[in-house]
Amino acid sequence: MKPYQRSTRRPTPRLLACALASCLAMAAPAAFAQSTAATIRGQVTVDSAPATDAKVTATNVATGLTRSVQSTANGGYAVAGLPPGTYRIDVSAGGQTNSKTITVQVGQTATVNLSTGGVAETAPSGEATNIDAVTVTAAPVFETKTSEVATYISQRQIEALPQGSRNFLAFADIVPGMIFDTKSDGSTSLRSGAQSSNGINVFIDGVGQKGYVLGGGVGGQQGSRGNPFPQLAIGEYKVITSNYKAEYDQISSAAVTAVTKSGTNEFHGDFFWDQNGTRDWRAPTPAEEKTGLKAPSGETQYGAAFGGPIIQDRLFFFVTYEAKEFKIPRTISATGLEPGYSLTPDLAALTGPTSTPFNEDLWFGKLTWQPGDAHLVELSGKVRDESDIQDIGDRNTRTYGKNKNNDSTRIDLRYQWSGINWLNDAHVTFEDDAFSPRILTLANGFNILNRNRGTVLNVGGGQDYQDKGQKGWGFQDDLTFSGLEGHTMKMGVKYKSIEVNSFEQQPYNPQFGVNLPANIDAGRTSLSTFQPFQVRFGAPLPGTGDRDIQSTNKQYGIYFQDDWAVNDKLTLNLGLRYDYEVTPGYEDYVTPANLVAALRSWSNIHNANVDYNIEDYISNGRNRKAFKDAWQPRLGFSYDLFADQRHVIFGGAGRAYDRNLFDYIALEQSKSTFPSYNLQFNVAGDPCAVNNTTCFNWDPKYYNPQELYALVAANPNLGSEVNLIKNDIKVPYSDQFSLGMRNTIAVFNQDWNTSVSVVHIRSHDGIVFSLGNRYPNGTFYGPGRTFGGAPFGERIPGFGSLIKADNGVETRMNQLLLSAEKPYTNESPWGVTLAYTFTDAEENRSNAANNDEHYVFDYPNLNDAPWVRSIGISKHRFVGTGMFTRWGLTFSTKVTIASPIAKDVLNCLAPTNPGQDGCANGTFEAGYFDDATYRQWDIAVQKEWDTGTDLKLRVRADIFNVTNERNWVDFNTFRGVNGVESTNFGERSNDNIALPTRTFKLSLGFNW
């Protein structure tokens, strides 16, 4: 397409004009913007007097979309709700016009003040253009006047920076405070600070992608190696780590808001093919170095995008497809082997390097219709189809794995209707997410254990069988009104009807516990000669019917936001949000009568020493109500010290409510429909008292599941675990506070955008499951103990152990966030971003931030649990990126350095004393180990050839982990007992590392 040519007609002295200074791109939407839309605003004056009759028209030069507004009494105007892109701005009054072309990005605000007969105030080091007696100065693409703690990710960064996964969320870790985790199994997650990844929400074109059943924040991202959205379809996005506006819902951590690409008046296409990680293109893993063999591996990614007009200026299309075909190297290794113990030959043969496959197909399509200047209609849809072989590696042998199918369909119908001072943005949405892991092997599983009941190796059939998901439709409507001088008011409503379901049978295959004998005779001993001492298995409970736990949830949301420009220096952001969700599957549930009778007659929990009231967990179908206190004030301010956007102080405070995962809530019912049992066998060296209820003489016939079912048929509840949810369970939330300053600083004639902010976040009411069993005297600990000795053997009469769910997980975090950016531009073709995060965080539940641990069995509740440094969080984290174009080549790099993360430790060093057992949970830094710091340096170089036609060819090479750093992930964390420190404390427990090793990637592509 030819670039827009500005008119050469010279304006007269009385020309009404509008000057544009774009002032954002590294942050969140400004006052007039929807969550992804852009806004153009400014001041129109005539002879230094406000122009009240000026008409301002913004026209998208790629699609012809047109929006017009009238200036207000003081000459101000705002064109809101613009899809990101390049616009021609036409201003007219009294038959005179002026034009200028600018580019706006996702959530961006561009500001212009024009006057005649003088020179306008200069915004931060923009490019000045003389128009007769008027000087127009454009600000850099950097938002200084937002109160939010936010950073913008540009399309240029997405295209140029080194990246292997093509998961667009991977670039979010260049934002201070954000962490994009890649675990040793290849799965990824995005999280912010000390909070769980469950608190994240991602908004695509203004629509949240929240997962309601499983963790991970984004639907389909729990334990997945896949991508939530095709990267070719993402235009750009921003990350808001705290103090977002009231329009953002179902969130207690960071928000990511992205805009998708659309078709234009020109046909454009793109094709790519990536290959990396093949056996010869990567360095070996530590386990492969030991064996001298490399496992088959490789990552192939390919895809294409195509878009253009169906009707010029009116109807457009855009489609894209991306595929992943991976072979991930894994290492199967025995852990916890004690001195004098070794694996039998048949078990040893199951260890060593291996690989697992992963396949994903992603489709996205979009139709854009512009029936008139005031109307915009979009219909878009995404389909994700994912198959992944997981749970192989570490202690799990190949047969023990599972095939996890992960599918998602999302559809969005959007209608925007604009007027002179208002914009209405409505969405009708549909979603269907399905998560269905299945075991690979239908056979008994064997858990090889050491003397401390620690797992050494898992062989045979695995135990995972699930079918979980969410399906339904929603409606949301946002209205922005800017007709009141100095105020931009935004309000909205949301309704969703979503059926959530959670079906699981755990463990699907019986799991037999086997003690690894010492002094194995390698010539005679094998697994087949071992005798199990216990078995864990699940069995369907007679008469329960459908075991798929379902609930048709209704979600309601409403908010009001007023962005008040008090003067040219001070802006206030005042917002209030309220959310309400009805969950019939929880609220209408009735605790079975036989269980109620057993609980009320259980003397262990009915005396003065018991720290809870069982009646708080018994539901009669009428004593549970939906949580109704989710009021969320969100307040912010920004103060421009010199009214020039170069030095701005900002801050805010707000509350944000998330929601409880249905996967947790459903345990109350799923555990009672497919109860699991743990039975003991009387074996030599590990005897139990035979009672024909929980302890039996071993017989090989018990390898037959039907024989196991027969053991519990007389009393199917006996030994089955019981889960109860508290009747007034609350919703998790966070309180967020921030204060900071943004500056634009000229260094060698180049503007650098800097930011420093201090953030304090407290999260509350995370759900936790604890042991409800108590000793006959009502205490949790054994006689004379203050730690350990939990009463697992004290079960509900006629049932098994009681696990109760309460609110209780909390985190407290202080962060210092520093960032600096020199933006990449065509005029200055190099760019740098620097991000440093200092985090001081603590939590009352180990792994709350890292692995979302929601069980506690060492303590009766979290009231007794110690506050420890947040697990999985580095105190210091630095991420730097750079881009440079020269000689027709584009070079880019990314460096990540993080201090050692805190580990969860059990410390029993204190000598045992009467009344004290000397153990406590705690954390330690692995900083005194040379191999605990995380380091990764990636580089990329790309060459593009213009063929002289519309076709451009490109070749790109990436090298990940250039220095081949070994980023170890697993360490021995048992400190010791009775004053004797463990000999392997702090040492690596296996050869697992965070991938990748040094890896080369080749990319080929073309576009037109």
Does 556 map to a domain? no
Does 922 map to a domain? no
d(CA 356, CA 391): 9
Same domain assignment for residues 189 and 221? yes
Phi, psi of 898 (to 5 degrees): -140, 140
Same domain assignment for residues 53 and 126? yes
Same domain assignment for residues 249 and 276? no
**What is the band of 575 on the pLDDT scale with cuts at 50, 70, 90?**
very high
Q: Which of 711-715, 758-762, 967-971 has the highest mean pLDDT?
A: 758-762
The residue among 834, 881, 888, 946 whose CA lies nearest residue 157 is: 881
Same domain assignment for residues 227 and 370? no
Pick the last residue of a domain from 212, 234, 260. 260
**What is the band of 633 on the pLDDT scale with cuts at 50, 70, 90?**
very high
d(CA 28, CA 146): 7
Q: How many beta carbons lie within 10 A of that of residue 199, not counting itself?
A: 27
Does 595 map to a domain? no
Phi, psi of 216 (to 5 degrees): 100, -10
Of 182-196, 219-233, 976-990, the one with minimum mean pLDDT is 976-990
Does 976 map to a domain? no
Q: 364 CB contacts (<8 Å, ≥6 apart)?
A: 229, 230, 232, 233, 260, 318, 319, 320, 321, 380, 381, 382, 383
Q: Give the pLDDT of residue 117.
A: 33
Same domain assignment for residues 301 and 256? no
Give the residue-averaged pLDDT of 576-584: 97
Q: Give the pLDDT of residue 2.
A: 37
Same domain assignment for residues 93 and 177? no
Contact between residue 94 and residue 16 where contact means Cβ atoms under 8 Å apart: yes
Report the C-alpha dihedral over residues 616, 617, 623, 625, rounded to 10 degrees: 100
Same domain assignment for residues 223 and 352? no
Looking up residue 22, the CATH number of its domain turns out to be 2.60.40.10
d(CA 316, CA 335): 57
Contact between residue 314 and residue 369 where contact means Cβ atoms under 8 Å apart: yes
**What is the band of 975 on the pLDDT scale with cuts at 50, 70, 90?**
confident
Give the residue-averaged pLDDT of 260-283: 92
Does 791 map to a domain? no
Assess whether pLDDT exceeds 60 at residue 34. Answer: no
Q: Give the pLDDT of residue 55.
A: 81
List the helix and strand counts (H, then E) for the chain: 8, 54
Q: What is the pLDDT of residues 762-783, one digit of tens each?
A: 999 999 999 999 999 999 987 7
Does 34 map to a domain? yes
Contact between residue 73 and residue 98 where contact means Cβ atoms under 8 Å apart: no
Same domain assignment for residues 107 and 182? no
Same domain assignment for residues 190 and 327? no
> 32 is in which domain, residue-wise?
17-137
Strand partners for 527: none
Q: Which residue has the tokens 């009214």?
A: 643
Does 124 map to a domain? yes
Task: Give me the number of domains the chain comprises.
Answer: 3
Looking up residue 231, the CATH number of its domain turns out to be 2.170.130.10
d(CA 599, CA 604): 9
Per DSSP, 247 falls in state T
**What is the band of 142 on the pLDDT scale with cuts at 50, 70, 90?**
low
Of 281-290, 595-604, 732-741, the one with minimum mean pLDDT is 281-290
Pick the last residue of a domain from 205, 229, 260. 260
**CA atoms in the 13 A half-sphere facing the CB of 807:** 14
Per DSSP, 394 falls in state B
Of 3-12, 158-167, 349-358, 493-502, the one with minimum mean pLDDT is 3-12
Beta pairing, strands 445-449 & 511-515? parallel
Same domain assignment for residues 245 and 306? no
Does 298 map to a domain? yes
**What is the band of 116 on the pLDDT scale with cuts at 50, 70, 90?**
very low
Pick the last residue of a domain from 236, 260, 284. 260
d(CA 438, CA 461): 11
Joined tokens for residue 685: 């060296």
Q: How many beta carbons lie within 10 A of that of residue 798, not counting itself?
A: 16
Same domain assignment for residues 393 and 523? yes
Q: Give the pLDDT of residue 519.
A: 62
Q: Give the pLDDT of residue 719.
A: 66
Assess whether pLDDT exceeds 80 at residue 123. Answer: no
Strand partners for 259: 236
**What is the band of 548 on the pLDDT scale with cuts at 50, 70, 90?**
confident
Q: What is the pLDDT of residues 656-699, one digit of tens each?
A: 999 999 999 999 988 877 888 888 999 887 788 888 888 999 99
Same domain assignment for residues 210 and 82? no
